[in-house]
Structure 1
Amino acid sequence: MTEFVPVGLLPQVAANFAVSIPGAGWVVSSYAAGVLVGAPLMTMATVRMSRNRSLALLMAIFTIGNVVAALAPSFATLLVGRVITSFTHGSFFGIGSVVAAELAGPKGRSKAVAFMFSGLAVSNLVGVPLGTWLGSAAGWRATFAAIAVLGVVTVAAITWLVPHLPAPQGVRLGTEFKALGNVQVVLALAMTLLGFGGVFAALTYLAPIMTQVAGFGESAMTPILVVLGLGMFIGNWLGGKMADRALMPTVIASLAALVVALAAFVVTAHVPVLAVVTVFFLGLLGMATIPPLQTVVLQRASHAPTLASAVNIGAFNFGNAVAAWLAGGAIAHGLGLTSASWVGALMSLGGLVLAIISVAIARQQAATSTTSMTAAGDRDLALAD
């Protein structure tokens, strides 16, 4: 909610501080940049703390950031508040993913991660529209104040309800960073950046596509966003459920279907009913990639998952920023609003290719390991003879 609700409040913020709309856009951009930088830094700062204590501390800092934003006397102070808040985002979701996976156990890992990430889907379905409405009715500061109150409630909930989960013994920052150098972890992070980034290329320009291409009025955007949120909610649940059954096949299938949906949106955007149906599937397929991609990172960096998990959240946000920039460039060069979907399709296609490469490498490594074990066994038998 705190990440995306300012989008609907930019005109108020711009008027309040006498800055331009593009200038006010830094309220959103600074948050994305803060997530990318803050994810590894905050993870390193909390990696030796118990999991539940880390989550409570991060949420407390999050709350302080929103209080600073709500009381900001200047635009610069507002940006400081946004950066403080965003610094906790990646680490919170990263540690939260580890906690969810640990509590659920191997058989329910992806479903538990999906359940935690369902907060994102619920926020897009309910939180962001409510926050925008509150800002319109009582001013943008009221929205940040309300988020701060939610932060206080969440700190209390984590303190009372999340079981004590001590930090793993012998945790070393060098080990955590070394995990990021694993080729499979790098591939997983790149899959996240490109795969989900493809969705954001289209969603960034969803409002002008639906109003100027599909022909809807501006008042129709609220129900269209509800359709998108519903798709995201279902996709999050479906992605988590399927990933527990077959992880990499789920990643490949969801990315392949996403490529098709994004490419189809270039055509269906011109037909109102089909445009809405496609928006639903973009939300469903885009969100369906998140639980399996996060689980892939946890699996590939199983010996040091905390930092890799947090950095993967940064990859989601960085992918969103790259996608918006590339899609904006395509539109600015006269390729039309629907070119954003082509950009998204190509990005997700890149993620799909990387997923296939990852599977191929894993199979090769498994075959090499089997061969080595067989050779070792043969040597043991020879020595025994």
Structure 2
Amino acid sequence: MAVAALSQEGSKPVAIWSAVLSMALCVAMLIASEFMPVSLLTPMAEGLRATEGQTGQAISISGLFAVAASMAITTAAGTLNRKWVLVAMTAFMLVSLILVAVAPNFAVLMLGRALLGICIGGFWALATAVIMRLVPEAEVPRALALMYGGQAIAAAFAAPIGSYLGGMFGWRVVFWALTPIVAVNLVWHVIALPSLPARQRQDFRTMFGLLKRPYFLRGILASMLSWGSAFTMFTYLRPFLEQVTDADVTTLSTLLLLLGCAGFVGTWGAGRFLSGSVAPLLKLPVLLMGGSTFGLLLLGGSVVAAGLFLAIWGAMNTAMSVIWMMWMSQNAGDAAEAAGSLMVAAIQVSILLGAVVGGLLLDGLSIFATFAGSVVLAAIGIAVIGDGRRLLKSK
């Protein structure tokens, strides 16, 4: 690794784990910021005089701008040091949280969420490529799992704490509470991240070149279906739990906490057991997450059953990120930043469309239609992945 520190003998690269941890905290804040409206959907809709379906677009608008940022960042950043690009993205997140917290109307909320989208797209487009430079190759799975541990932390605590604090103090307080943590993370980035000079100037031709590789294009499509299925369901999880499971604020917070804590299991398992080819594991997350959503459709009226299915869903949600980013590092490592841009764009398009389609189904039909749509997308994703071997580059 070009950036990883060298041992005292000067020959063996050593992982810079403080920088990896700094990125893990940034991931936690990004996930918390991006999906906090899920746990606050009802009170935010009431406070802004909008429907729940419309307020769900607060997620889709950040996804829209994340797509644009992810596609442009590696080209627009040019030869800029990647350390300072990541610092700038974190600063954007801080400003976004302040805008959302003070938003007097739906338009300002959308502005803040759009700014967050730029941060999301920029950070994730570079994240895997940066991790590959911070640690030796053999440590990449562990480092990715550690970074995505931030996702598990956010999933475990952000939603239930957000739901609880939102119920007690109002949804704006929840967003204000995130700002000092992001400010600390900004300083940590400056201290912990080493200088990360651009290795080569990326352009759109590199991305188009990747898309001409059939295995990579199939992988992008499969990942889009996986995330699209996940967020058609997850964006509107709170209305389902309120309407079908009949969960009050305490039960809702408990179920969201269970879902999030299960994410630690998924992240740990992915980091512990992921080695060699990822082909056999590519369809596991969408298979179990789609099955859990189908289980909620059948048995979601039971709090116990809902908790069981959400635990499975939560574990696979965090594992899915690690598995697909390992797939990317193994099959597009020669153009890691360009591949990262395409992966982030694909995922964010899926999140955007999931939120839009799910919201339309919710407002036009019912919450059951939203969850059924998620199951259909999961089934298509499983069919595209197959045994996973057609998603791997030829040796």
Same fold by TM-score greater than 0.5: yes
User: In structure 2, what is the equivalent of residue 359 of structure 1?
Assistant: 389
Answer yes or no: is the 8 Å Cα contact 2:225–2:380 preserved in 1: yes
Is contact 1:61–1:88 with CA below 8 Å preserved after alignment?
yes
**Residue matched to 2:320:** 289
Shift of 1:213: 3.4
Say if 2:362 is the partner of 1:349.
Answer: no
Change (3 A) 1:348 1:111: farther
Residues of 2 paired with 1:355 and 1:174: CA distance? 26
Gaps of 5+ in 1: 367-385
Task: Give 1:358 shift.
Answer: 5.3
Whether contact under 8 Å (1:101, 1:110) holds in the other structure is no
CA contact (8 A) 1:184 1:358 kept: no
Aligned equivalents of 2:224 and 2:267: distance in 1?
Answer: 17
Residue range with higher mean Cα deviation, 13-22 or 230-239: 13-22
CA distance in 1, matches of 2:60, 2:119: 16
177, 188, 191: which one pairs with 1:157? 188
Contact 1:100 1:109 survives alignment (8 Å): yes
Q: Is the 8 A contact 2:226 2:377 kept in 1?
A: yes
2:233 pairs with 1:233: no
1:302-313 to 2 correspondences below 5 Å: 302-313=333-344
Report the alpha carbon displacement of residue 68 of structure 1 after superposing the two structures with TM: 3.4
Matches within 5 A, 1:14-25: 22-25=53-56
- Taking the aligned partners of 1:39 and 1:330, their CA distance within structure 2 comes to 28
Contact persistence 2:92–2:119 (CA under 8 A): yes
Aligned equivalents of 1:269, 1:11: Cα separation in 2: 19
Partner of 1:147: 178
Deviation at 1:18, TM superposition (A): 5.3
Question: Which stretch shows the higher mean deviation, 207-216 or 276-285?
Answer: 207-216
Counterpart for residue 11 of structure 2: none
Letter in 2 for 1:120: Q
Partner in structure 2 of residue 376 of structure 1: none
Q: Which residue of 1 aligns with 2:16?
A: none
Mean Cα deviation higher: 222-231 or 318-327: 318-327
- Residue aligned with 1:304, SS: helix
Match of 1:254? 285
Q: Does 1:122 align with 2:153?
A: yes
Name the CA shift for 1:197/1:110 in 2 (closer, same or farther; >3 Å).
farther
Aligned to 2:79: 48
Distance, in Å, in 2 between the alignment partners of 1:12 and 1:318 is: 26
Deviations 1:263-301 (A, max 9, x none): 333333244322211111111123221111122223332
Quick check: 2:267–2:319 contact (8 Å CA) kept in 1? yes
Asked if structure 2 preserves the Cα contact closer than 8 Å seen for 1:268 and 1:278, the reply is no
Question: Quick one: structure 1 residues 18 and 263, their matched pair in 2 at CA, closer, same or farther if it must change by over 3 Å?
Answer: closer
Give the deviation of 1:14 after TM superposition: 5.3
Bigger RCO (CA 8 Å, 6+ sep): 2
**Distance in 1 between residues matched to 2:171 and 2:235, nearest whole Å:** 21
Task: Single out whichever of 324-333 and 212-221 deviates more from structure 2.
Answer: 324-333
Q: Which runs of 5+ in 2 are unaligned?
A: 1-31
3-state secondary structure, aligned to 1:166: coil
**Any runs of at least 4 consecutive aligned residues in structure 1 with deviations exceeding 6 A, and if so which?**
none
Alignment of 1:105-120 (within 5 A): 105-120=136-151
Q: Does the aligned pair in 1 maintain the 2:216–2:391 contact within 8 Å?
A: no
Q: Deviations over 1:181-232 (max 9, x none)?
A: 4322222221221113222233334334334434544531110111111122
Give the Cα–Cα distance (whole angstroms) in 1 for the partners of residues 182 and 88 of structure 2: 11
Compared CA separation, residues 38 and 347, structure 1 to 2 (3 A): same
Q: Is the 8 A contact 2:164 2:250 kept in 1?
A: no
Q: What TM-score results when the alignment is normalised by the length of structure 2? A: 0.80
Contact 1:323–1:343 under 8 Å retained in 2:
no
Partners of 2:176 and 2:376 in 1: CA distance? 40
CA distance in 1, matches of 2:246, 2:179: 38
Work out the CA distance in 1 between the residues paired with 2:154 and 2:65. Answer: 20
Q: Separation in 2 of the partners of 1:85 and 1:215?
A: 32
* Alignment match, 1:193: 224
Asked whether the 8 Å contact 2:216–2:392 carries over to 1, the reply is no
| Aligned residue runs from structure 1 range 28-47, under 5 A | 28-47=59-78
State percent identity of aligned pairs.
21
TM-score calculated relative to the size of structure 1: 0.81
SS of equivalent to 2:352: helix
Structure 1 residue 362 displacement after superposition: 4.0
1: CA distance, partners of 2:57 / 2:192: 36
- Distance (Å, rounded) in 2 between the aligned partners of 1:78 and 1:330: 23
2:346 to 295, 315, 318: 315
In structure 2, what is the Cα distance between the partners aligned to 1:16 and 1:261?
A: 32
* Partner Cα distance (1:361, 1:80) in 2: 38
Q: Deviations over 1:70-129 (max 9, x none)?
A: 444554333222211211102202312222233233323233222212212211211233
Contact 1:92 1:310 in 2 (8 A): no
Three-state SS of the structure 2 residue aligned to 1:289 is helix
Pairwise CA distance, 1:359: 1.3
Give 1:20 deviation, angstroms: 5.5
Distance 1:63 1:329, change over 3 A: closer
Q: Tell me: CA distance 1:340–1:232, structure 2 relative to 1, closer, same or farther (3 Å).
A: farther
Q: CA RMSD in A?
A: 3.0
Q: 1:96 is matched with which residue? A: 127
Quote the offset at 1:353 in angstroms.
2.5
Taking the TM superposition and a 5 Å limit, the aligned residue runs for 1:315-334 are 315-327=346-358
Work out the number of aligned pairs and report it. Answer: 364
Distance 2:300 2:352 in 1: 23
Letter in 2 for 1:360: R
Say which SS state the counterpart of residue 244 (structure 1) adopts.
coil
Matched, 1:274 2:312: no
Aligned: 1:82 with 2:113: yes
Cα deviation digits, residues 38-58 of structure 1 (max 9, x gap): 221233222522232221121
